[in-house]
Amino acid sequence: MWRRCWRRRGLAAACLGTALLLLLCAAPRALGPAFGNRALGSSWLGGERRSPLQKLYDLDQDPLTALAEVHRQRRDLLNSACSRHTRRQRLLQPEDLRHVLVDDTHGLLYCYVPKVACTNWKRVLLALSGKARGDPRAIPAHEAHAPGRLPSLADFSPAEINRRLRAYLTFLFVREPFERLASAYRNKLARPYSADFQRRYGARIVQRLRPRALPVARARGHDVRFAEFLAYLLDPRTRREEPFNEHWERAHALCHPCRLRYDVVGKFETLADDAAFVLALAGAPDLSFPAPPRPRAAAASQDLAARLFRDISPFYQRRLFDLYKMDFLLFNYSAPSYLRLH
Ligand SMILES: *[C@@H]1O[C@H](CO)[C@@H](O)[C@H](O)[C@H]1NC(C)=O
């Protein structure tokens, strides 16, 4: 045991040296027995309580509950898909961790993926960390999204980042990639709450991809068709100019699941159960996650994707599937049956 601790400490010391070592420190690791005894064990909330990560480790030791077993399998699948499908990768920089939000009170790191209940997760984190009072549902969306309201891991020094990556429970929530994409198209371009995205992205899409567009469409970008949106995503100029907007950027590119260790991979499709699992580990089982989607809404989301993709040629379907393939593979989604890939 001693030797093991020392080895870990040696590794920790190496990690703190420089920002470029983030990769080393953040590499997926199994939860080992030495884990509970490390520095945090004694300092965690005065040593009174088990941290969420320690609780997850406890669950993995005991006869597993069904839900804990599901999450263990998802972790295993992610790890093996990562080793199968990723090559040598560049090292992570702090800025790569912009989407990872920090709750120091409970010891949580949450990587948010837009269109996967992230507003509600931000509300819950605000409530958990005491930055907002009362029922998370009552927190206005704009407040949940206000920059800086929840600290991002990217804002810490490399040493502080590494410390949190080692000791905190790290989780993300993902969703079937094409349902997420269809949802982004609908909420941001087809039927948006505000005209921001139409002006910012819609107008650009029309100007670039629609020959002889009407002046009103070029200015407002209000009537972008799904096929045009997909053509914009596949156009090499798009990502040369700037990274994809976070609403359609691939989850793996936002959260780096092959370089950070994720303890819980939550899914939109099982949001209520997975959220309850995380909240129980966080020591807040009474906090209820706001309004997970009802079965009918889930079916509607599937239908929307199927309907939108029906009019897309097999050639574009295949290219789009390739673009989002890593999200399908890493998070165990199969190619939707409505696609014509062959
Ligand atoms: C992966 O998906 C398949 C098919 O939906 C399912 O049977 C299996 O349990 C999933 N595995 C994990 C680890 O989630």
Nearest CA to ligand 1 atom 2: 332
> How far, in Å, from the CA of 236 to the mean position of ligand 1?
33
Nearest CA to ligand 1 atom 1: 332
Range of 113-117, 288-292, 297-301 with top mean pLDDT:
113-117
Nearest CA to ligand 1 atom 6: 332
Per-residue pLDDT of 128-164, as tens digits, reads: 888 877 788 888 888 888 888 899 999 999 999 999 9
Rounded to an integer, the average pLDDT of 9-20 is 37
How far is Cα 154 from Cα 38, in angstroms, rounded to an integer? Answer: 24
pLDDT in the model for residue 113? 97
- For the chain, the farthest-separated pair of C-alpha atoms sits apart, in whole angstroms, at 73
Kindly compute the dihedral angle of the four CA atoms of residues 283, 128, 120, 263, in this order, to the nearest 10 degrees. -50
Whether residue 102 has pLDDT greater than 60: yes
How far is Cα 330 from Cα 146, in angstroms, rounded to an integer? Answer: 30
- Under DSSP, is residue 181 helix (H, G, I), strand (E, B) or coil? helix
pLDDT in the model for residue 16? 34
**Worst-scoring range by mean pLDDT, 114-118, 129-133, 208-212, 280-284?**
129-133
Mean pLDDT of the chain: 85
Listed residue (93, 257, 256, 247) closest to 183, CA to CA: 247
> How far, in Å, from the CA of 130 to the mean position of ligand 1?
36
Alpha carbon 181 to its chain centroid, in Å, reads 14
CB-CB contact of 169 with 52 (8 Å): yes
DSSP 184: H
> How far, in Å, from the CA of 333 to the mean position of ligand 1?
8
Nearest CA to ligand 1 atom 3: 332
pLDDT in the model for residue 43? 43
Whether residue 282 has pLDDT greater than 90: yes
Please report the atom of ligand 1 found closest to the CA of residue 77. Answer: 13
Nearest CA to ligand 1 atom 12: 74
pLDDT in the model for residue 12? 36
Please report the atom of ligand 1 found closest to the CA of residue 76. Answer: 13
Nearest CA to ligand 1 atom 10: 332
Rounded to an integer, the average pLDDT of 184-209 is 94
CB-CB contact of 240 with 260 (8 Å): no
For residue 314, count CB atoms less than 10 angstroms from its CB and return exposed for 0-12, middle for 13-18, buried for 19 or more. exposed
Please report the atom of ligand 1 found closest to the CA of residue 332. Answer: 1
Please report the atom of ligand 1 found closest to the CA of residue 74. Answer: 13
Please report the atom of ligand 1 found closest to the CA of residue 333. Answer: 2
Rounded to an integer, the average pLDDT of 278-292 is 87
Strands 264-267 and 100-103: unpaired
Nearest CA to ligand 1 atom 8: 332
Nearest CA to ligand 1 atom 14: 74
pLDDT in the model for residue 63? 64
- Under DSSP, is residue 319 helix (H, G, I), strand (E, B) or coil? helix
Alpha helices in the chain (DSSP H): 2-16, 22-26, 39-43, 52-61, 66-85, 118-128, 141-145, 158-167, 177-184, 196-197, 203-209, 215-220, 226-234, 236-241, 251-255, 271-281, 295-310, 314-330
pLDDT in the model for residue 94? 93
Which of the listed residues 327, 332, 333, 337 should we mutate to test ligand 1's pocket, taking the one with most ligand atoms within 8 A of CB?
332
Cα angle 190, 193, 199 (rounded to 5 degrees) comes to 65
Which H or E run includes 102? strand 100-103
Per-residue pLDDT of 17-65, as tens digits, reads: 344 445 434 444 444 333 333 334 334 444 567 899 998 988 877 767 8
Whether residue 327 has pLDDT greater than 50: yes
pLDDT in the model for residue 291? 76
| Residues with C-beta less than 6 Å from any ligand 1 atom | 73-74, 77, 332
pTM value is 0.86
DSSP 152: B
